[in-house]
Amino acid sequence: MNDGPENIIVVKDLVKKFGSFIANDHLTFNVRKGEIFGFLGANGAGKTTAIRILCGLSYPTSGIIHVGGYDVYTQREKIKKNIGYMCQRFSLYDDLTVFENIRFYAAIYGLSRKEIELRSSNLLQRLKLEEAHNKLIRDIPLGWKQKLAFSVAIIHDPRIVFLDEPTGGVDPITRRQFWNMIYETARQGITVFVTTHYMDEAEYCDRVSIMVEGKIAALDTPLALREQFGAANMNEVFLKLARAKITEDV
């Protein structure tokens, strides 16, 4: 398959079944290099299943999936070296300090001792966490944790970073600061693949897909989606798609 120079993730007919349950039902989409791609959907729509497959953590039942030019069936280790991953809950170790967490992840990603020194001090400086570097993760505020978890997820300069609900439960100002970091990351050329339940954040993405019950129900720029569904904002687009499905079922 020719991925094309501009597509960093290529997914064609991805199917994932658990017994008779179809979690991902023939997903087909591409993610372009350097874009912020919003991967939306209701709880249980199959987002996390798809992300785990893209990250090389779980095998698909069928379909062609390339991430960073690598095949998810045969080149999972290569994929893992080229991506970063942050989910809301399990990213950092609560009983290690800020500094220890940074060093731990940098070492896991195989950075040299010298690189680790350099990048961790840069990171602490950038996040203004120098004074807190010896604090345990459990003692720092949620907003700091999330910014730190994100920075740690890209400490090895991956080509793609996957963010699974990175801003859940965060105050409005911290959420916006977090999105500033996402923008900066994308401008450095790192592709951002992000899920969120905040529909204002969906507007900040270059393109957005909306999953409903295992299928991609819509995929386009936020502007095109608003026009297509005659909606004032992404929240209305989302409610139209996800709620329509629920009403059909009842």
Please give the residue ranges that form the binding site for other proteins (CB under 8 A): 41-45, 88, 165, 168-173, 176, 179, 183, 197-200, 202-204, 222-223, 233-235, 238-239, 242-243, 246
Dist CA 124 CA 131 (whole Å): 9
| Cα 36 versus chain centre, distance | 9
- Residue with the two structure tokens 């569904």: 229
Closest approach of Cβ 246 to other proteins, in Å?
7
Closest approach of Cβ 37 to other proteins, in Å?
15
Copy the structure tokens of residue 175: 């959420």
**Apex 228 CA angle, 179 and 162, nearest 5:** 30
Q: Based on CB atoms, which residue is closest to other proteins, 128 or 243? A: 243
Closest approach of Cβ 218 to other proteins, in Å?
14
Contact 146, 170 (CB under 8 A): yes
Residues in the chain: 250
Q: Based on CB atoms, which residue is closest to other proteins, 82 or 91? A: 91
Residue 145's closest CA among 69, 86, 77? 86
Q: Based on CB atoms, which residue is closest to other proteins, 4 or 44? A: 44
Q: Based on CB atoms, which residue is closest to other proteins, 36 or 53? A: 36
Report CA-CA distances (Å) from 35 to 38, 51, 53, 74, 200. 10, 17, 20, 26, 18
Q: Based on CB atoms, which residue is closest to other proteins, 100 or 220? A: 220
Closest approach of Cβ 184 to other proteins, in Å?
10
Closest approach of Cβ 186 to other proteins, in Å?
9
Q: β-strands 70-71, 62-67: how paired?
A: antiparallel
